Amino acid sequence: MFERILRWSLVAIAVAGLAAGGAAHAFGRPEWAGIAFTASTVPVIAGLVVSIIRDVLAGRIGVDAIALVSMSAAIVLGEPLAGAVVALMYSGGNVLEDIAVARAEHDLRALVDRAPRIAHRWHDDRIEDVAVADVAIGDRLMVRAGEIVPVDGVVETAIAVVDESALTGEPIPVSRRRGMAILSGSLNAGETFELSVTATAGESTYAGIVKLVTSAQTAKAPFVRLADRYALIFLPVSLAVAAAAWLASGDLIRALAVMVAATPCPLILAAPVAFIAGVAQAARSGILVKGGGKLEALARAHTVLFDKTGTLTVGGARLLSVEAAPGEDADTVLLLGASLEQASHHVLAHAIVEAGHARGLKLKVPERVRETMGSGLAGIIDGRRISAGSPDLILGSHAPPPWAARAIRRASWRSALIVLVAVDGRPIGALLLADELRADTPRAIRWLREAGIARMVMVTGDRAAAAQAIGAALDLDAVLADRVPSDKVDAVRSEQRLHPTI
């Protein structure tokens, strides 16, 4: 904070000095103008001397030294205006960097603020609110509907429906049954459930994300500015050219002109400002960049590995087809299913309702709707009991009729979700919903090719048939399907051994 205040103070002094000097010139007082220009340059020189000493002690030397020589020579040779201009460029660039840093911090802070602060813990048959930091392994927590899961744990109730989009990008809520793990940072998209803690707040999944954000905010960019890489050559060459100009012309001011022109203020400032602005822009697009080294590594990349769902595809369900039972009408199946789903807030429900509207169906208002979170719902439409949900909910322990078995197999082949629709307990049809390719995915693949990426691979947990279809449509170099998370890690490591890999 002290350095930030100092930078703003220096740029304010530089601006004030130039303004005062300009006013003095306008009123015919050049001597006062010289004093104002000098007074605005000297503090910047002092600050730059301190910065250079720090760099030298750290074993670094950069082209900032040329700016120091230029400002100092301008003062000594009686050209304070030139020194004031260089001072403004240098100090102003540092302030621009501070502004970009502040923007990046603001964009990234939202994710940190989402971390839960309070947990509801069972204690002696009652619920008490405690700080998340006080939760211990083995504690039993209650997670209410709409709350963020505070720590990693396992489900202790029959079922929990959670939205893991903040962690995985998958927009469709998933069901977790008793004994299954749930990650902190997930949103409870269903009814209240109980959780047995398996990791403290500091060791949980969401804490890792928060640490990543914090490091992105505080880490110094490890890049080396292009001009700094050649500072040991650039500085003496500039001094030599300045000396040659002096000897050739006999005018010392010519040497000063060379040094002022050689002062690489744009090069001094461009890298940090571009890096921080890039981090801020990426954050607004949901991308966290851990540091400058990671950003620079992108330029060397040879191979890109893509996940499928939510990356190459939209990540949300779209109606793929309507499978009607013999003697039933597909529009009737969709009409009843979409009418009933109007009463649900589930992501799949929204997709089904939108599909009904898109087909021009006039949806009806359901009554006495009862929802089984994560499985489906039932209600009354035109005096008939309509149900829509998973095969387990609609069929129970009964074997599916032949048409339904075919629909279930087709959904499996296409990695689609299936919603059965029943009237008075009799299945009349099925709605198949699946992900679809993002509209901009082909363009993004083409741009990556043009940017120099030589190999593109899709790694997915989906079945080979569905994955190969997308891989062929995008002309990917390889498709690795049926991969569990550990297999995906192995695939990344294999590619990294060969080439720089994203």
**How far is the C-alpha of 14 from the C-alpha of 481, rounded, in Å?**
61
The CATH number assigned to the domain holding 489 equals: 3.40.50.1000
- Which band of pLDDT confidence, cut at 50, 70 and 90, is reported for residue 385? very high
The CATH number assigned to the domain holding 150 equals: 2.70.150.10
Same domain, 448 and 488: yes
| Vertex 274 angle, CA 271 and 278, to 5° | 140
Q: Which of 434, 454, 473 is the last residue of a domain?
A: 434
- The answer as to whether 286 is a domain residue is no
* Tokens coding 197: 């803690």
pLDDT, tens digit (0-9, with 9 covering 90-100), for 15-30 = 998 899 889 888 888 8
Could you list the residue range(s) of the whole structural domain that residue 441 is in? 301-313+437-498
pLDDT, tens digit (0-9, with 9 covering 90-100), for 348-357 = 788 899 899 9
**DSSP code of 439?**
T
Evaluate if residue 220 carries a pLDDT over 60: no
Same domain, 230 and 273: yes
Q: Which of 180, 213, 246 is the last residue of a domain?
A: 213
Q: Which of 178, 194, 213 is the last residue of a domain?
A: 213
- The answer as to whether 429 is a domain residue is yes
Number of other CB atoms surrounding residue 75 within 10 Å = 19
- Residue 271 or residue 358, greater confidence: 358
Same domain, 141 and 45: no
Mean pLDDT of 304-323: 85
Annotated catalytic residue 307: yes
Mean pLDDT of 5-14: 85
Same domain, 178 and 271: no
Catalytic residue among 228, 307, 435, 462: 307
pLDDT, tens digit (0-9, with 9 covering 90-100), for 317-355 = 788 889 999 999 999 999 999 999 988 877 778 889 989
Enumerate the β-bridge partners of residue 417.
433
Same domain, 340 and 420: yes
* pLDDT, position 106: 67
- The answer as to whether 293 is a domain residue is no
Enumerate the β-bridge partners of residue 130.
119
479 and 471 in contact (C-beta within 8 Å)?
yes
* pLDDT, position 454: 95
* pLDDT, position 326: 92
**How far is the C-alpha of 478 from the C-alpha of 470, rounded, in Å?**
11
Handedness of CA 469, 474, 478, 480 (dihedral sign): negative
Same domain, 338 and 409: yes
Same domain, 102 and 10: yes
Quote the number of domains for the chain.
4
- The answer as to whether 49 is a domain residue is yes
- Lowest-pLDDT choice from 3-17, 47-61, 123-137: 47-61
Q: Which run of H or E residues covers position 387?
A: strand 384-389
Can you tell me whether residue 40 is helix, strand or coil? helix
* pLDDT, position 338: 92
Same domain, 420 and 345: yes
**DSSP code of 376?**
E
Number of other CB atoms surrounding residue 248 within 10 Å = 9
Same domain, 271 and 350: no
Same domain, 106 and 11: yes
Q: Which run of H or E residues covers position 309?
A: none
- Lowest-pLDDT choice from 84-93, 98-107, 108-117, 188-197: 98-107
User: 151 CB contacts (<8 Å, ≥6 apart)?
Assistant: 119, 132, 135, 141, 184, 195, 197, 198, 199, 200, 201, 204
- Which band of pLDDT confidence, cut at 50, 70 and 90, is reported for residue 458? very high
Same domain, 137 and 178: yes
- Lowest-pLDDT choice from 117-126, 200-209, 285-294, 335-344: 285-294
- The answer as to whether 290 is a domain residue is no
Same domain, 69 and 151: no
pLDDT, tens digit (0-9, with 9 covering 90-100), for 409-449 = 888 777 678 899 999 989 999 999 887 788 899 999 999 99
Give percent of the chain above pLDDT 70: 86
- Residue 221 or residue 407, greater confidence: 407
pTM: 0.48
The CATH number assigned to the domain holding 417 equals: 3.40.1110.10
The DSSP annotation for 101-166 comes to HHHHHHHHHHHHHTS--EEEEEETTEEEEEEGGG--TT-EEEE-TTPBP-S-EEE-SSEEEEE-HH
* pLDDT, position 169: 57
* pLDDT, position 223: 47
Compute the chain's Rg from CA coordinates. Answer: 32
Give percent of the chain above pLDDT 90: 26
- The answer as to whether 219 is a domain residue is no
241, 242, 263, 279: which is closest to 106 by C-alpha?
279
Mean pLDDT of 75-104: 79
